Amino acid sequence: MSNKPLTNNPSNRIVCVFENREAVDAAKRDLMEYGISNDRIRVSEGKEAAENVDASTQWFADTDEEMDHIRQQLLAGNVLMSIPIEGEEARDAVYDILKQHQAFRITHFGHWVTKVLR
């Protein structure tokens, strides 16, 4: 698991939820095969991670709601993954990989826009 906070600043990242660690590990392998280095893929799970989610007012309203949902998913025992994204082509390719591994609540946090891709 990465020691970098998953939820401090999600800008230019896709954040998604998995029900189990096996799906996370399989998705991570495919993301690395696609070309995203292991050290840039962040994985987070557990109550401690949920306590570190920043759902403060520094975000736009829709981002605040998504960050709160992320916290709830962690508390429910799910696993989160965050992947850096640059450009629509990469966003679409990463989305396809994540969906193949049953990720849900797939959200792209762009610079000025939050888009739930699901």
The string of pLDDT tens digits covering residues 4-32 is 444 456 678 898 999 999 999 999 999 99
Would you place residue 65 in the very low, low, confident or very high pLDDT band (cuts 50, 70, 90)?
confident
Domain residue extents for the chain: 13-116
Taking alpha carbons only, the member of 11, 6, 26, 12 closest to residue 81 is 6
What is the domain class of 13-116 according to CATH?
A: alpha beta
Q: From CA 72, how far away is CA 33, in angstroms rounded?
A: 30
Over pLDDT 90: what percentage of the chain?
Answer: 47
Phi, psi for residue 15 in degrees, rounded to 5: -120, 135
Q: Which residue type is seen at 57?
A: T
For CA atoms 55, 61, 63, 65, give the dihedral sign.
positive
